[in-house]
């Protein structure tokens, strides 16, 4: 299967949802994607964020593919999760 834009758009990304305050103290909701640390989408409600984040994800993936950036897929091992001590000889 070719790993094109449609392939990546249909992956089961790990969404991180949260709420914060803007500079004026008004609440907003955000969605981040664990596998794409530079991704963040904000909206006034979590419903709007869930409804619209894929538009921004599509644009970001288009740029990443065009630039030849590595796109870490959901479920791929993360170096940060490695147990480096168990990998060392004589440990």
Q: Give the pLDDT confidence of 35-75 residue by residue, as tens digits.
A: 999 999 999 999 999 999 999 999 999 999 999 999 999 98
- How far is C-alpha 87 from the chain's CA centre? 28
d(CA 89, CA 77): 21
Task: Enumerate residues 6+ apart whose C-beta is below 8 A from 35.
Answer: 13, 14, 71, 72, 73, 74, 76
d(CA 91, CA 82): 15
Considering the chain, what is the average pLDDT of its residues?
Answer: 89
pTM reported for the whole predicted model? 0.77
Strands (E), 1-91: 15-21, 27-33, 36-43
């Amino acid at each position: 299967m070719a790993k094109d834009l449609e392939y990546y758009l249909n992956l089961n990304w790990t969404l991180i949802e949260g709420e914060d305050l803007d500079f004026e103290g008004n609440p907003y909701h955000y969605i981040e994607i664990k596998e794409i640390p530079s991704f963040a989408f904000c909206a006034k409600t979590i419903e709007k964020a869930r409804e619209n984040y894929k538009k921004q994800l599509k644009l970001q993936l288009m740029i990443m593919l065009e630039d030849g950036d590595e796109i870490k897929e959901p479920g791929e091992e993360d170096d940060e999760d490695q147990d480096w001590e168990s990998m060392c000889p004589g440990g």
